[in-house]
Amino acid sequence: MEIRIGERLKRLRLANNLTQEELANRTDLTKGYISQLERDNTSPSLATLGDILEVLGMNLADFFKESPQEQTVFKGSNRKLLADSTDDARVELLIHASQRQEMEPVLVTLAPDAKTREDRQHPGEEFGFVLKGRVALRLGRQGYELEEGDCFYFSADRRHFVQNIGQIEAKILWIVTPPTF
């Protein structure tokens, strides 16, 4: 297993919103040395790596701990149908709930005249892209009509639902953050 120390250090530095110069100043190293480390052109001593990690809020043990491989591809055959789905209104989780993600993408399929359950207000934001059909978005007291190719984006601080107002099945790619399903 190849450990790319420089690449991991750079990700940590960026996650801490530090420039190379700021990290160098806080560790009594030069900006050039930090740059060489991040490009894996040089290797730090354990003491130097420990000093850098301390500034970045991590210890040596956690830095070298093998992290589980993150799943990248999710097959259609592995989708999960939500329990409250019906033949007229189906909601499929596109990514397994066991993943630790900040967004939750779902595929909503609505028969003509079917609608999603009304969601109460909650923290977060929602985005939808109409893949097929015509739908009405109800957002609080406001209503919007969308058709294939249209999308919506809103703060989820109001009650909301979508209803199929067309004559054919409607499909919506819907993304919620933070996950609520």
- Domain of residue 46, CATH code: 1.10.260.40
For the whole model, what pTM was predicted?
A: 0.63
pLDDT of res. 115: 95
Residue 22's contacts (CB-CB under 8 Å, 6 or more residues apart) are: none
Whether 122 is in a domain gets the answer yes
Shared domain check, 32 and 88: no
Length of the chain: 181
Decide if 89 is inside a domain: yes
With respect to residue 133, please indicate whether it lies within any of the assigned structural domains.
Answer: yes
Single out the residue in 64, 89, 110 at which a domain terminates: 64
> Are 39 and 92 part of one and the same domain?
no
Q: Where are the alpha helices (DSSP H) in 66-172?
A: none
Q: Looking at the structure, do residues 12 and 81 belong to the same domain, yes or no? A: no
Do 59 and 81 lie in a common domain? no
Please tell me the distance from the alpha carbon of residue 75 to that of residue 94, in angstroms, as a whole number.
8
Q: What is the pLDDT of residue 2?
A: 56
Give residue 1's pLDDT.
47
User: What's residue 103's pLDDT?
Assistant: 87
- Residues 89, 142 within the same domain: yes
Q: Is the same domain home to 58 and 81?
A: no
69 found inside a domain: no
> 98 and 52 share a domain?
no
At 87 the pLDDT is 87
Instruction: Tell me the C-alpha distance between 119 and 81, whole Å.
Output: 18
Task: pLDDT tens for the chain, 181 residues: list them.
Answer: 456 889 889 989 998 899 999 999 999 999 999 999 999 999 999 999 999 999 998 999 888 886 656 677 888 888 888 877 888 999 998 987 545 678 899 999 999 999 999 988 888 999 999 999 999 999 999 999 999 999 999 999 999 999 999 999 999 999 998 887 7
pLDDT value, residue 86: 87
Q: What local confidence, expressed as pLDDT, does residue 78 receive?
A: 83
Judgement on whether residues 82 and 157 belong to the same structural domain of the protein: yes
Domains held by the chain: number: 2
Is 19 contained in some domain?
A: yes
**In the prediction, which pLDDT does 97 show?**
57
Structural domain harbouring 131: 76-177
In a domain, 71, yes or no: no
The answer for residues whose C-beta is within 8 angstroms of residue 60's C-beta and 6 or more apart is 46, 49, 50, 53
Q: What CATH number should be reported for the domain holding residue 83?
A: 2.60.120.10
